[in-house]
Amino acid sequence: MFKSKTFAVALTLLAVAAAGCSKQSDEERNKQAAAIAASIGKALDKATAPKKAASSKNLNRTAAAFYSEYMAVRGMQAMRYMNAKIALDGTVRQVLDMGGAGYQIWLAAPDKGRVVIKFKDNGAHAKTKKLKRGDSVKLSGCSVSGKTTRAVHMSDCRLAS
């Protein structure tokens, strides 16, 4: 309803001033001004309340399709993916044993891109599968952790058996 808090405050002051011009008692004017201020405050709270993320549902995508979709996202549109749990199917492009930092895989994506996968268990289960370039994988429970110029980063992924 209101574009800014400054506008709402100005409107409240105007309402209080208008209430003061009548021939009512001070107590009646104060009640009227308080009622006006309360209704403006409620409208302001409703207008400026943060919007809930558009989706916290599970999304199922191929790694290539998700990469293309997410790389096109700009600004606040990314909030749609923040609470989503994403299931991905893809082809392993590279396998990385990061030592103490865990085990990662990169999934192939269009335009020399990649989807970087970090596992919830640091890749312990994936390591036992002895994944290699070209293997098909199914992942679940992934969360988006960001993107760079040619990569979408996913964390907390679980490898399907």
Predicted confidence at residue 54, as pLDDT, reads 39
Q: Which residues contact 109 (CB under 8 A, 6 or more apart)?
A: 63, 64, 67, 68, 90, 115, 152
- Residue 53 domain flag: no
**Same domain, yes or no, for 43 and 115?**
no
Pairing type for strands 58-62 and 85-97 reads parallel
Identify the pLDDT of residue 6.
61
Q: Which residues of the chain have pLDDT under 70?
A: 1-24, 43-57, 161
Task: For residue 142, give Cα distances in angstroms to 17, 18, 85.
Answer: 56, 57, 5
Same domain, 155 and 78: yes
Domain enclosing residue 89, as ranges: 58-159
